[in-house]
Amino acid sequence: MHSFDTIAALASATGRGARAIVRVSGKNALSVVRKSFRASVAIDLSSLATYSWCEGEFQLGLPAQLRIPVLLYWMAGPRSYTREDVVELHFDGSPTLVTLVLDELCGNGARLAEPGEFTRRAFLSGRIDLSQAEAVMGLICARNEREATTILDLLEGDFGRRVEGLREEMLRLLALLEASIDFSDQDIEIVSWADLRREVESLLAKTGQLLEAIPQATDESAGLPRVLLYGPTNAGKSSLFNALFGKDRALVSEEVATTREGVSAPVEFGSVPAMLRDSAGLTEADTQGDGANAQAVAMTRRQLELASIVLLVVDGSAEASPDRLDLIPQIEPGRLLRVINKCDQPPGFWRDPWIEAQRALGGETLLVSARTEEGLSELSESVGSRLASDEGGMPPALQVFVRHRTLLLACQEALFRAQERSAAQDPAELLAVDLTEACDKLSEITGQGTAEEVLDLIFSRFCIGK
Amino acid sequence: MTNPASSSTPKSTEDRIFDVIVVGGGHAGCEAALAASRLGADTLLLTLSLDTLAAMSCNPAIGGLAKGQLVRELDAMGGQMGLTIDRTGIQFRMLNTNKGPAVQSPRAQADKHLYHVEMRRVLEETDGLTLAEGACEEFIIENGSIRGVVLAGGQVCRGRTVIITTGTFLRGLMHTGSKTKAGGRAGEATFSGISTSLQRLGFELLRLKTGTPPRLFQDSIDFGRCQEQLGDADPVPFSYRTVGKFCPEQTPCYITYTNPDTHSVIRENLDRSPLYTGQISGAGPRYCPSIEDKVVKFAERDRHQIFLEPESLSSDWIYVNGISTSLPQDVQDAFVHSIPGLEKARFARYGYAVEYDFLPPHQIYPHLETKRISGLFLAGQINGTSGYEEAAVQGFMAGINAVLKVRDESPFVLDRSEAYIGVLMDDLVNSCPREPYRMFTSRAEFRLLLRHDNADRRLMKYGRNFGLISAECYAGLQEKEVHIEKTLAFLSEKFSAEGRSLLRVLRRPEMNFASLSEHYPELLSVSRYPEVSQQVEIEAKYQGYIERQQAHVTKFKQMEGVSIPADFDYSMITHMKTEALEVLKRVRPLSLGQASRIAGVTPADISILMMHLLRPSNEKKVSR
């Protein structure tokens, strides 16, 4: 009864050691999985009984020809959560593997699920179990809020601006087309086929560039939850970075403020992988705003917003108290871990009273020494358990980027059709269908509507009205 | 008030209870009254003057892009407009013939005098319909339900339902230069009582503006200096029920242009245009701007197109399409005389702007009944629309729904995927028009499916169900469907020499049904029925795209299928943006799909709304 497309998403929480569960739902669920699945014993998957499982390998295509051992669970619709055919893949819970598996499934014809989409389908099919609904919905609510924030953060950046710019270009072309359809009885300039072709080709080129921009973002930062080292200058953040990472990667110097650009590296906290990032230390001058370091400060602020955990590092041996940190943005206690570095040295007179005061405010404070590595394993455990308990499942940023890529690919596909239409000089209303579709895909990234905007553009540009 | 009508007077209706009372005799009112009485309801149509029934206050034309689709849809369900224009049109043209079938639309110049005469004849000959003159001043309400209306002079007309279709007549105010005059149309009165009564009942009223150009005397125009525009050689009627050979009179229109002199006259006198002095507060339509607006906003253009359209074969008035204006008369004289062909033109009527009250349409349900007063319906310009066609379809839908209300049956609503009428009503109830709302094909996301050529295949079943379409007419459609299906089956099963199905062969740009039947004589029998071969050809050409739109329709229907209780308690939603919550409370959407189309409501808001709909306390209320 449903003709929903097939969707896929991570259904478990992050954390290595734990199992990752990727759920696929929709009428092509089995065929989407089967394209990359090889059972360990010869078995016809379509003869698999519902609510049974089989062992096998999930084979990833390029670049690495990875073979991941998985368990495949099969739940035939309508006796499943969504009332559709559902396949679950259970495998080693590494976020990197999750990304690769989801990418592969999307390549096989699935689409990354929207937040709450499984539940929406369960609801629309009348399947939802109301006794569990509250719990499920609470989870979705939390995820939505966080995801929304992350999307906004990302959109403030260059990527968002480029998507929006591309969308506006498409809208302008669409307005030209729609004007030629709805106001053809008026004497307005009509766009030529040659122009249309050129415009569509330029849109395609720009979409391609955007697609190229995404994988970098995923590799660099979005694939893993982020842990940010943050604090005043010369608190020893870079030394701590090196101690945690185990290599001399960050520049270390006795001079104040050597880290001007964020340096990052994958680090395991406990057994949970994350991206550890160093940040430029803040001085009082920086927090006043307009200094030469304004750019580094702005970058640090963005890093603060994106981090799953912020390690606020202060120098326990310094003469001055870190109270001036009042000048920096508030970080909610759930993401904040206070780290007092240089505990191998004599404490500053303020240190112990300060720890007392912080304890009263709630939250944890740890004493470490990057030099002697004292307290480092406690720090690592503490960060790891926080990351693992993070209810978010896949890091929101990761979800967003896989979603963006899927949407951009769909946009590209629609533009290819538009290119064919304009080359064949097919009727304008068909070209308009493809362009609208391309535009709608970008709108899903930026969260805006289309129809009324096109009319607004037409009226601002053309003198309409006999 | 003029003399009582010949057919009946309100006096004789004193102790009678009508099923439906229609207030207003424009294009909405006429269709409403006809639909209601044809459904067997005892119907009263009240108008200020029976001599202006179905009057064309502005341009003498029916149809046009997207509007033509509305007329065909109305006709497929048994409305009157299409039949009447077929009998009274004086120039028929199909627009956009250089584009695909989905965006082509029929348009006709009307003999506006004949149109009125013909519509009045139909109204007078309809059983169960009483026509009367009178100005409605007030409404009789009991327990939140309408019980009738009170006329100026105190007469009472009692009715189970009332449909208000008063157009631009609610506190209508006409502007020419700094002169203003109360009235909804040149030479006519206005309703002020209705506005006051509606406000007293708690309705919100806002102002809109529209304009009309000057009318000139035919014999004072030098058509030799203008370009001639002819009707189609092979005209197509609007109505599916206009049978036999269709050969209407094809009268020419003429085209001329403004020039820099025209523009400088206008520019020099802008300080005398009520649009620019602040005298007019209502927002006018951007798609039909005054010539003042065109000159100011598009200053780089040195000319604007003007169409000279005959108003009627029995009158010598020419409608000057393209120079709607509210400038003072001496300025109108000056700038009109600067236009080629119009140098010596004499004015039959000067252009004017008219401001009027409308009710922001979030106050009605998609079936046009007001949310506030049970049994009270609004249709036409009172809902913020513009255009005879937009008004007519609303009148028709309101007429049917008023009767359904009397019968205590559930309302008749079309959705966005089945008709432009559905798009119109959905757009109206979801967002308050900032300007008079006009239909465009780009408003219809499923426009490849909503074509003027298949309105019968989409909607005639409804007309048949209501008894507005005859069994004979409907049998014709069913026969056509059988032929279409057979032909499509033949084309997809039969393969050409290169091994392609004929359906794919037909898809090639250079192919059409006629050229295909030259190679396949089996098709010759079909090509004798152009209405069948046309449908088959369109399905072949649009294939792929039609399927994709249908997939979108399926998705759309799923969201439409999740209904929101009319009394849903929005105050229990705590996590939504205030702005989204406010607009949801204002519109009170009836389905999740509708909610998702309201401006200011994001997908995230929809997810939150859905979760609240699912709360156990709402479990019983949510139906799907």
Report pLDDT digits (tens) over B86-115. Answer: 999 999 999 999 888 999 999 999 999 999
- pLDDT value at residue A348: 82
Q: Which of A126, A186, A449 sits opposite B624 (nearest CB)?
A: A126
Q: How many CA atoms lie within 13 A of A86 on its CB side?
A: 20
Question: CB A219: neighbour CB atoms within 10 A?
Answer: 11
Q: What distance in Å separates the CA atoms of residue A369 and residue A353, rounded to the nearest whole number?
A: 19
Q: What are the tens digits of pLDDT across the range B512-549? A: 888 888 888 888 877 778 889 999 999 988 888 898 88
Q: What percent of chain A has pLDDT over 90?
A: 14
Q: Which residue segments constitute the domains of chain B, with CATH numbers given?
A: 10-170+359-464 (3.50.50.60), 215-352 (2.40.30.260), 471-549 (1.10.10.1800), 561-618 (1.10.150.570)
Mean pLDDT score, B76-80: 98
Question: Are residue A179 and residue A297 in the same domain, yes or no?
Answer: no
B453 vs A: CB within 8 A:
no
Mean pLDDT score, A298-312: 77
Domain boundary among A351, A371, A389: A389
Total domains, chain A: 3
Q: What are the tens digits of pLDDT across the range B231-251? A: 999 999 999 999 888 989 899
Question: What is the side-by-side strand order in the sheet with B89-95?
Answer: B61-63, B105-110, B89-95
Which structure tokens are listed for A371? 């030099």
Query: Measured between beta carbons, which residues in chain A are less than 8 angstroms from residue B614?
Result: 123, 128, 130, 133, 137
A117-124 vs A130-156: helix crossing angle, rounded to 10 = 140
Question: Are residue A88 and residue A25 in the same domain, yes or no?
Answer: yes
Q: What distance in Å separates the CA atoms of residue B492 and residue B501, rounded to the nearest whole number?
A: 5
- State the DSSP string of A142-158: HHHHHHHHHHHHHHHSH
- pLDDT value at residue A132: 34
- pLDDT value at residue A309: 85
Give the residue numbers spanning the domain of A81. Answer: 7-128
Question: Are residue A309 and residue A368 in the same domain, yes or no?
Answer: yes
- CB-based burial label for B119 (10 Å; 0-12, 13-18, 19+): buried
Domain boundary among A389, A407, A437: A389
B500 vs A: CB within 8 A:
no
Q: What distance in Å separates the CA atoms of residue A231 and residue B122, rounded to the nearest whole number?
A: 85
Mean pLDDT score, A121-130: 51
* Nearest-10 Cα torsion for B465, B466, B470, B476: -30
Long-range contacts of B505-509 (CB under 8 A, 24+ apart): B506/B536, B506/B537, B506/B540, B506/B541, B507/B540, B507/B541, B507/B543, B509/A424, B509/A426
The CATH number of residue A436's host domain is: 1.20.120.430
Q: How many CA atoms lie within 13 A of B459 on its CB side?
A: 33
- The verdict on residue A370 lying in a domain is yes
A148 vs B: CB within 8 A:
yes
- CB-based burial label for A303 (10 Å; 0-12, 13-18, 19+): buried
Which residues are registered as beta bridge partners of B369?
Answer: B377
Checking if the pLDDT of B278 tops 50, the result is: yes
* Cis check: omega of the bond before A396, within 30 degrees of 0: no
Q: Which of B99, B294, B561 sits opposite A427 (nearest CB)?
A: B99
Question: Are residue A363 and residue A314 in the same domain, yes or no?
Answer: yes
Question: Are residue A75 and residue A161 in the same domain, yes or no?
Answer: no
Mean pLDDT score, A171-193: 84
A158-182 vs A130-156: helix crossing angle, rounded to 10 = 100
In chain B, positions 105-164, which contact chain A (CB-CB < 8 Å)? 107
- Contacts of residue A290, Cβ cutoff 8 Å, sequence gap at least 6: none
In chain A, positions 404-463, which contact chain B (CB-CB < 8 Å)? 424, 426-430, 432-433, 436, 447, 449, 451-452, 454-455, 459, 463
Q: What are the tens digits of pLDDT across the range A194-244? A: 889 999 999 999 999 888 766 444 444 445 677 888 888 778 888 888 888
Question: CB B102: neighbour CB atoms within 10 A?
Answer: 30
Question: CB A102: neighbour CB atoms within 10 A?
Answer: 24
The reply to whether residue A463 touches residue B298, judged by beta carbons under 8 angstroms, is yes
The three-state secondary structure class of B246 is coil
- The verdict on residue A141 lying in a domain is no
Which structure tokens are listed for B80? 């009157």
Mean pLDDT score, A152-166: 66
Question: Are residue A287 and residue A359 in the same domain, yes or no?
Answer: yes
Q: Which of B301, B305, B599 sits opposite A466 (nearest CB)?
A: B305
- pLDDT value at residue B417: 94
List the end-to-end C-alpha distance of chain B, in Å, as a whole number. 52
B103 vs A: CB within 8 A:
yes
Report H helices in B435-529: 455-465, 471-493, 502-507, 513-519, 524-527
- The verdict on residue A466 lying in a domain is no
Which structure tokens are listed for A98? 């999750």
B424-433 burial code (b ≥16 CB/10 A, e <16): bbbbbbbbbb
Q: Which of B440, B603, B615 sits opposite A182 (nearest CB)?
A: B440
Mutation to test the B interface, candidates A181, A452, A453, A454, most B Cβ within 10 Å: A181
ipTM over 0.85: no
Kind and range of the H or E run holding A43:
none
B547 vs A: CB within 8 A:
no
Question: Are residue A116 and residue A254 in the same domain, yes or no?
Answer: no
What letter would DSSP give residue B507? H
Q: Is the dihedral of CA A442, A444, A445, A448 positive or negative?
A: positive
The reply to whether residue B103 touches residue A429, judged by beta carbons under 8 angstroms, is yes
Per DSSP, chain A holds a count of helices (H) and strands (E) of 14, 13
Q: What distance in Å separates the CA atoms of residue A273 and residue A387, rounded to the nearest whole number?
A: 9
- CB-based burial label for B247 (10 Å; 0-12, 13-18, 19+): exposed
Taking one residue from A and the other from B, the number of pairs with CB-CB distance under 8 angstroms is 130
- pLDDT value at residue B145: 97
- pLDDT value at residue A397: 43
Domain boundary among A389, A404, A435: A389
Which residues are registered as beta bridge partners of B156?
Answer: B150
Query: Measured between beta carbons, which residues in chain A are less than 8 angstroms from residue B102?
Result: 429
Question: Are residue A360 and residue A287 in the same domain, yes or no?
Answer: yes
- CB-based burial label for A170 (10 Å; 0-12, 13-18, 19+): buried
Q: Which residue has the tokens 């152009």?
A: B530
For residue B521, the one-letter residue type is: P
A183 vs B: CB within 8 A:
yes
Q: In this structure, what are the phi and psi dihedrals at residue A363, rounded to the nearest 5 degrees?
A: 95, 165
Mean pLDDT score, B501-518: 86
Which residues are registered as beta bridge partners of B385?
Answer: B437
- The verdict on residue A455 lying in a domain is yes
Question: Are residue A256 and residue A368 in the same domain, yes or no?
Answer: yes
The CATH number of residue A110's host domain is: 3.30.1360.120
- C-alpha of A258 from chain center: 30
Q: How many CA atoms lie within 13 A of A164 on its CB side?
A: 12
Mean pLDDT score, A254-272: 61
Checking if the pLDDT of A91 tops 80, the result is: yes
- State the DSSP string of A217-259: HIIIIITS-EEEEE-BTTSSHHHHHHHHHSS--S---SSS---
B199 vs A: CB within 8 A:
no
Lowest mean pLDDT among A217-231, B44-58, B352-366, B492-506: A217-231
Q: What distance in Å separates the CA atoms of residue A422 and residue B473, rounded to the nearest whole number?
A: 41
B97 vs A: CB within 8 A:
no
Checking if the pLDDT of B326 tops 90, the result is: yes
- pLDDT value at residue B93: 96
- pLDDT value at residue A459: 55
Q: What distance in Å separates the CA atoms of residue A446 and residue A441, rounded to the nearest whole number?
A: 9
Chain A: nearest CA to B310, how far in angstroms?
15
The reply to whether residue B610 touches residue A464, judged by beta carbons under 8 angstroms, is no
Query: CB of A288 within 8 A of CB of A253?
Result: no
- The verdict on residue A139 lying in a domain is no
- The verdict on residue A1 lying in a domain is no
- The verdict on residue A260 lying in a domain is yes
Q: What distance in Å separates the CA atoms of residue B325 and residue B290, rounded to the nearest whole number?
A: 5
The three-state secondary structure class of A140 is helix
Q: Which residue has the tokens 């003869």?
A: A47
Question: Are residue A408 and residue A299 in the same domain, yes or no?
Answer: no
Q: Which residue has the tokens 């309508």?
A: A78
- pLDDT value at residue A392: 35
Chain A: nearest CA to B181, how far in angstroms?
26
- pLDDT value at residue A438: 93
List the end-to-end C-alpha distance of chain A, in Å, as a whole number. 48
Question: Are residue A244 and residue A356 in the same domain, yes or no?
Answer: yes
B189 vs A: CB within 8 A:
no
The CATH number of residue A332's host domain is: 3.40.50.300
A133 vs B: CB within 8 A:
yes
- The verdict on residue A136 lying in a domain is no
Query: CB of B423 within 8 A of CB of B393?
Result: no
Whether the pTM exceeds 0.90: the reply is no
Question: Are residue A116 and residue A159 in the same domain, yes or no?
Answer: no
Q: What distance in Å separates the CA atoms of residue A410 and residue A418, rounded to the nearest whole number?
A: 12
- pLDDT value at residue A293: 62
Q: What distance in Å separates the CA atoms of residue A8 and residue A329, rounded to the nearest whole number?
A: 37
* Cis check: omega of the bond before A427, within 30 degrees of 0: no
Q: What are the tens digits of pLDDT across the range B329-359? A: 999 999 999 999 999 999 999 999 999 999 9
Long-range contacts of B295-304 (CB under 8 A, 24+ apart): B295/B263, B295/B266, B295/B267, B296/B267, B296/B270, B297/A463, B298/A463, B301/A463, B302/B259, B302/B260, B302/B263, B303/B257, B303/B258, B303/B259, B304/A187, B304/A463, B304/B257, B304/B258
The three-state secondary structure class of B424 is helix
Query: CB of B59 within 8 A of CB of B67?
Result: no
Q: What distance in Å separates the CA atoms of residue A54 and residue A72, rounded to the nearest whole number?
A: 5
Mean pLDDT score, B6-19: 64
